[in-house]
Amino acid sequence: MQIRDTAVATPDKPAIIMYPSGSMVTFGELESRANQLAHLFRSAGLVEGDAVAILMENSEHVHAVMWAARRAGLYYVPINTHLTAAEVAYIVDNSNAKAIVGSGGLSDILAGLEAELPEGLPSTLLIADGDLDGWQQYPECVADQPDTPIEDEIEGDLLQYSSGTTGRPKGIKRELPHVPPAEWPGMMAALIGFWMNPDAVYLSPAPLYHTAPSVWSMQTQAGGITTVILEKFDAEGTLDAIQKHRVTHGQFVPVMFTRMLKLPQGVRDSYDVTSLQRVMHAAAPCPVEIKKQMIDWWGPIVDEYYASSEAIGSTLITAEDWLSHPGSVGKPMMGALHILDLDGTELPPGQPGEIFFEGGLDFEYLNDASKTAASRDYRGWKTVGDIGYLDEDGYLYLTDRRHHMIISGGVNIYPQEAENILVTHPKVMDAAVFGIPDDEMGQRVKGVVQTVDPSHATLEFEHELLTWLRDRLSHYKCPRSISFEAQLPRTDTGKLYKQSLIDKYSG
């Protein structure tokens, strides 16, 4: 199913509702906007396989750009809005984008691109809700374009760049399907189909430049489902959006759960969230106690999946199954699972190793053949470097990322374990644990914490927190010391940029 079906059947049904502004786009309007922009792309000479870069905050325009790109057989490249002009230019250049669609709120970054691009700007430049010399104003620039489909519709795809937590972002590129959109169900179609129904109202609280928010919101729209898009995540605002729009489904990341749970009880209790039927979370491991608290609050409706932007495979676990397998991310939904040691030998249940999937979609890291090759083993199984283990029943448990592992005195330490416990302390908002150089042990475990109340960031609380943690975790896994930061460098989807912390505390 595509948005066109809903646009024909119920053109006035809301496709997009922005929160908190309340601006709305109906399915009929979204269909027309996508068609007009697809015509503009064609008239500008863009053909199947070309790329269009998108640098926009969450707004009513983002989905029109993505749908237009998909219908014109283009790769659409959503770019992190927190990047500098040089970082954005790298992605524009690396993806060989033939067009850029930006927003007025990011005009300073857009204006700085030309100086950073060795070959100059693409010829097709659009800016929404803004004005910039040399850029066409959108949507005014498509006003004279037909609102009917282009004649040569062909399916495009997402070209997602990694978050770059361990180096420069890498483009994750798949071969286009080379079929008309009506013949391509899209990623996650089967999951969306059984998990939601056309009468659902879906909440997307994260930035649309990330993989899951863009894929899930488009797939829900393809199913005729209204999507409520948060312009920016806010813990209390999320509860208000659920209550105001009678949201039935949503997708979150664990740090959002933590933020909502840290709200005063009176604030949490003042919002009606009984409209919720199921919610999903992913993107980062969720501490067991945090998820238990969410289930206690929202009921056994908190499902979870594990996947990656590379789409090499995925797992799924319902809230009901999770309660009998706490901490698990489920069983394979797409692709067979293998846990391998460093030599490529399959490990038995209970032993952690690198997670490989057999099957799943094929992909390449754009312009990086060595990284692409490193993601495969000799059997063609693929990995993104996550570590985990299977239990006797075949349920997967995540341990950590391979590059996060600390080796102290020859012992492997996975810092996620300490992080998961630290965030359950009532005075802790967020936590990072990582290794820093140590002359004797090679590395020693370091902790950095963001407190709920900044006044708690004291030497006394450091000692209290270390004692509290050592009562709950083996001492060798615990930080030797804890420092405090006003804000941890975490992405909007919950991933920590640990390298900046490692650099800061390694001196």
What's the CATH number where 497 sits? 3.30.300.30
Structural domains counted in the chain: 2
pLDDT score recorded for residue 507: 72
Q: Are 345 and 295 in contact (CB under 8 A)?
A: no
pLDDT score recorded for residue 473: 87
User: Which of 181, 204, 227 corresponds to the end of one domain?
Assistant: 181
Identify which of 322, 331, 452 has the alpha carbon closest to the alpha carbon of residue 393: 331
Instruction: Look at residue 173 and tell me if it is in a domain.
Output: yes
Q: What is the mean pLDDT of residues 154-164?
A: 89
Provide the pLDDT confidence category of residue 109 given band limits of 50, 70 and 90. Answer: very high
User: How many CB atoms sit inside 10 A of residue 370's CB?
Assistant: 7
Provide the pLDDT confidence category of residue 251 given band limits of 50, 70 and 90. Answer: very high
Token duo for residue 40: 């503009």
User: Which of 114, 149, 181 corresponds to the end of one domain?
Assistant: 181
DSSP assigned state of 267 = H
Bridge partner residues of 78 (DSSP): 54
User: H/E/C letters for each residue in 116-145?
Assistant: HCCCCCCCEEEEECCCCCCCEEECHHHCCC
**Segment among 72-86, 172-186, 262-276, 432-446 with least mean pLDDT:** 432-446
Over the stretch 406-452, which tens digit does the pLDDT of each residue have?
877 667 787 888 998 999 999 999 999 998 888 777 789 999 999 99
Q: What is the mean pLDDT of residues 377-391?
A: 93
pTM confidence score: 0.85
CA 293 from centre of chain:
23
**Phi first, then psi: what are they for 474, rounded to 5°?**
-50, 135
Q: What is the mean pLDDT of residues 356-382?
A: 92
Residue scoring higher pLDDT (2 or 279): 279
pLDDT score recorded for residue 187: 64
Provide the pLDDT confidence category of residue 141 given band limits of 50, 70 and 90. Answer: very high
Instruction: Look at residue 197 and tell me if it is in a domain.
Output: no
pLDDT score recorded for residue 185: 78
Residue 363 to residues 175, 212, 499, 503, Cα–Cα distance (Å): 7, 17, 27, 32
Q: What is the mean pLDDT of residues 132-146?
A: 97
Percent of the chain at pLDDT exceeding 90: 76
CA 480 from centre of chain:
32
Provide the pLDDT confidence category of residue 149 given band limits of 50, 70 and 90. Answer: very high
pLDDT at residue 491 tops 90? no
Residue with tokens 């609280």: 205
Instruction: Look at residue 384 and tell me if it is in a domain.
Output: no
Instruction: Look at residue 216 and tell me if it is in a domain.
Output: no
Over the stretch 35-89, which tens digit does the pLDDT of each residue have?
999 999 999 999 999 999 999 999 999 999 999 999 999 999 999 998 899 999 9
pLDDT score recorded for residue 493: 66
Q: What is the mean pLDDT of residues 352-373?
A: 91
User: Which of 137, 154, 181 corresponds to the end of one domain?
Assistant: 181
Q: What is the mean pLDDT of residues 270-296?
A: 92
Distance, in Å, from the CA atom of 472 to the CA atom of 418, rounded to the nearest integer, reads: 9
Instruction: Look at residue 387 and tell me if it is in a domain.
Output: no
pLDDT score recorded for residue 31: 98
DSSP assignment string, 173-216: E-----S-GGG---TTHHHHHHH--TT-EEEE-S-TTSHHHHHH
Instruction: Look at residue 63 and tell me if it is in a domain.
Output: yes
Per the structure, the complete domain to which residue 168 belongs is given by: 25-181
Highest mean pLDDT among 57-61, 208-212, 439-443, 477-481: 57-61
> What is the pLDDT of the chain when averaged over all its residues?
92
pLDDT at residue 154 tops 90? yes
Q: Which residues fall within 8 angstroms of residue 296, CB to CB, at 6 or more apart?
A: none
pLDDT score recorded for residue 402: 67
Instruction: Look at residue 305 and tell me if it is in a domain.
Output: no
pLDDT score recorded for residue 378: 92
pLDDT score recorded for residue 346: 96
pLDDT score recorded for residue 70: 96
Q: What is the mean pLDDT of residues 450-477?
A: 93
pLDDT at residue 401 tops 80? no
Distance, in Å, from the CA atom of 298 to the CA atom of 388, rounded to the nearest integer, reads: 28
pLDDT score recorded for residue 167: 63
Instruction: Look at residue 86 and tell me if it is in a domain.
Output: yes
